[in-house]
Structure 1
Amino acid sequence: MLVVGAGPAGSSAAFFSKFLDEDDKREVCLIERLDNQKYLNYHEMCGEGVSDDLFSDISHIKPSCIIEKIRKVREYWPGDIEIKTTMNGYIIDRPLFLKGIVDQYVKLGGKYIQNSFVDFIEKEGEIKVKLSDGEFVKTKYLIAADGANSLIRKKLGIKGRVKPFIQNVVDKETKHDTLIFEYDEKWKGDYKWEFPHGETTKVGFPFLKHSDSEKIEGTILATHTRMVGFGGLEIYKAYDLSNRVGWKYGNQM
């Protein structure tokens, strides 16, 4: 089995594939294109808030790299509407949390390769994956966890929907136990968020024409931008490899 991409989906898929392999007969290989520092930088683009319910669903992965606990949510809507709710959750250090999952996976006997996926073909019931260094990896099952602009899903004819988002790390007084969401027509169905992050605040929103003039309170310490997937997937053409990708493997476990 080959997993491409060591983000939240790929790292957890690889981990559980080995964790649930009680007989230690399943060969699993996880491929990540980014080296260590670029990997950490890439995954900074996130509010890094997670619900405690998540760890109930994936109970063998424990909360770690916790920056602070979240107990409140505030939503602000047009018309001076404010909605207050409570929650049990965390702000985590996402890059280090993911790295911890990968480290656990490797300790279970999983293989990890820092390389880039280029292409794949199927022949006689086997998938042959080409990597950027010219090497080939053979596998029976292929899991596409290679991000919002997945090359694997594109070849399979599965179209993902993406939007550009921008996030600023701001030196401002933060509400340590509260997530803030601001909904407005200017965000065109999305929202602006403010999440506490230690002694700083992460402020993010869709990258639209008016975003350049969005007023940010406090000093901006860092800015992250990238395409973010949303709203599921669209299958726009059939491809005869589709029955060999992740979901079939998952159904057999």
Structure 2
Amino acid sequence: MLSITHKPIIIVGAGPSGTTCGYLLAKAGYDCTIIDKVRFPREKTCGGGLTPKAHKLVKDIFGDIKYDYLPVKRLEFHTAKGVFAAFELDNEIRNVAREDFDKVLLDKYVEAGGKVITARIRKIREKDDKVLLTMEDKQILSCDTLIGADGANSFVRKYLRLVYPKTLLMMEKKNDDKSVRDIVIYFDKKYDCGYTYVFPNMKQTIVGYGHLKATINEFGEEIGRFGLNPEGKVKGAYIPAFEKFRYPFKKNIILIGDAGGYVDSVTGEGLYYAIKTGQNAAVSIIEGRDFKEVNKDMIRRVKKLNRVARIFYNRLFQDSFYKICTVKSLHPWLTKIANYYIAK
């Protein structure tokens, strides 16, 4: 009979949501273990934009943490016809290479006393108020609290048999071009809640594309329409847009970040939501409060942005949006809105 090793708190996933939660718990003296199926650093499909509200949150939680980033203070909106709007940002967006940034956060968690296991989970079950995890090597771990921070394809979420939200398939290529300094977004009315994007960072430039009905076969054609055709392998990831939070919130199993459907369905921003829900999960455990209550503002925010996204990506609204953006007298007002959105 196989023995069972007990770990008080297990977090599945070593991305920003998991490491933020683990860091705060370890710092507060909790015995915490993160399990991830790969060793870090690892590549991650993501534009890597830390909005002002996101990098402020990173500083609030981790202090004067050092990480490499490209400061971006200009945001351009394009169609196939060219630029139709450009915004100068009051506060920079910090574009990071996710493989490096995520490793920095993981290292901070380990420095705080957190443990890391590299392994795959094959089965989850509950017994006698414990959550049991069967690993690929047949080892069995038990915990009092299980936190799913394992992304849009979360294994923990699958165990709960929860209906997944609609997902945006985002695909991207990376190249070594370091000359790009602005974030560029390409809109097209045929996209169903999505866009093509260019995100530069300190190491490379990321060119991506995606929406609710995107397929990998059309990637090259779509970015080519905008004069973008970087070499390299196409990589993809799902963004869990339009979460309705109809699933039950269990006291001993918590979902955070993409696993819980926390994402901005308008912009696709996920890093702020990952870090904030990771923080909220830690607070709920440390203070002995219900996670849904601690996290209620995030749930409310995501639901609101779901409604905004449906309006913003409506074809009729897109027509009006393009026209409004061409009126130069409205640019100060639009710039103010853009700055407020990314900061708050």
Give the TM-score of the pair, scaled to structure 2. 0.63
- Partner in structure 1 of residue 148 of structure 2: 144
- Partner in structure 2 of residue 16 of structure 1: 24
The 1:29/1:252 distance shift into structure 2, 3 A limit, reads closer
| Amino acid in the other structure paired with 1:145 | A
- Partner in structure 2 of residue 48 of structure 1: 48
Does structure 1 residue 245 correspond to structure 2 residue 249? no
- Partner in structure 2 of residue 164 of structure 1: 169
Which deviates the most, 119-128 or 164-173? 164-173
Counterpart mapping for 1:67-146 below 5 A: 67-76=69-78, 81-86=84-89, 87-146=91-150
In proportion to residue count, which structure has more strand?
1
| Amino acid in the other structure paired with 1:73 | L
Q: Is the 8 A contact 1:29 1:110 kept in 2?
A: yes
**Distance (whole Å) between structure 1 residues aligned to residue 33 and residue 203 of structure 2:** 38
The 1:6/1:168 distance shift into structure 2, 3 A limit, reads same
The 1:200/1:96 distance shift into structure 2, 3 A limit, reads closer
Q: Say how many residue pairs are matched.
A: 242
Structure 2: give runs of 5+ residues left out of the alignment: 1-8, 256-280, 287-344
Q: Is the 8 A contact 1:180 1:195 kept in 2?
A: yes
The 1:156/1:250 distance shift into structure 2, 3 A limit, reads farther
SS in 2 for 1:142: strand
Aligned counterpart in structure 2 of residue 223 of structure 1, from 228, 233, 254:
233
Aligned counterpart in structure 2 of residue 2 of structure 1, from 10, 15, 33:
10
SS in 2 for 1:154: helix
Does structure 1 residue 213 correspond to structure 2 residue 216? no
Give identity over the alignment, percent: 18
| Amino acid in the other structure paired with 2:21 | A
Which deviates the most, 213-222 or 91-100? 213-222
Runs of 4+ in 1 over 4 A off after TM superposition: 77-80, 216-219, 234-238, 247-250
- Partner in structure 2 of residue 66 of structure 1: 68
**Distance (whole Å) between structure 1 residues aligned to residue 246 and residue 19 of structure 2:** 27
> Alpha-carbon deviation of 1:192?
0.8
**Distance (whole Å) between structure 1 residues aligned to residue 148 and residue 178 of structure 2:** 40
Per-residue CA distance 1:206-234 (angstroms, 9 max, x = gap): 14354332316466242342232232535
Q: Is the 8 A contact 2:178 2:202 kept in 1?
A: no
**Distance (whole Å) between structure 2 residues aligned to residue 232 and residue 18 of structure 1:** 32
**Distance (whole Å) between structure 1 residues aligned to residue 69 and residue 247 of structure 2:** 43
**Distance (whole Å) between structure 1 residues aligned to residue 284 and residue 219 of structure 2:** 43
> Alpha-carbon deviation of 1:199?
6.7
**Distance (whole Å) between structure 2 residues aligned to residue 210 and residue 109 of structure 1:** 46
**Distance (whole Å) between structure 2 residues aligned to residue 9 and residue 164 of structure 1:** 20
Q: Is the 8 A contact 2:21 2:282 kept in 1?
A: no
The 1:154/1:235 distance shift into structure 2, 3 A limit, reads farther
SS in 2 for 1:185: coil
Q: Is the 8 A contact 1:118 1:129 kept in 2?
A: yes
Structure 1: give runs of 5+ residues left out of the alignment: none
SS in 2 for 1:184: coil
The 1:144/1:199 distance shift into structure 2, 3 A limit, reads closer
User: Superposition RMSD on alpha carbons, in Å?
Assistant: 2.7
Per-residue CA distance 1:103-155 (angstroms, 9 max, x = gap): 12112211100001222221111111111111111111000111111121122
In proportion to residue count, which structure has more helix?
2
> Alpha-carbon deviation of 1:252?
3.9
Q: Is the 8 A contact 2:188 2:195 kept in 1?
A: yes
Q: Is the 8 A contact 1:3 1:14 kept in 2?
A: yes
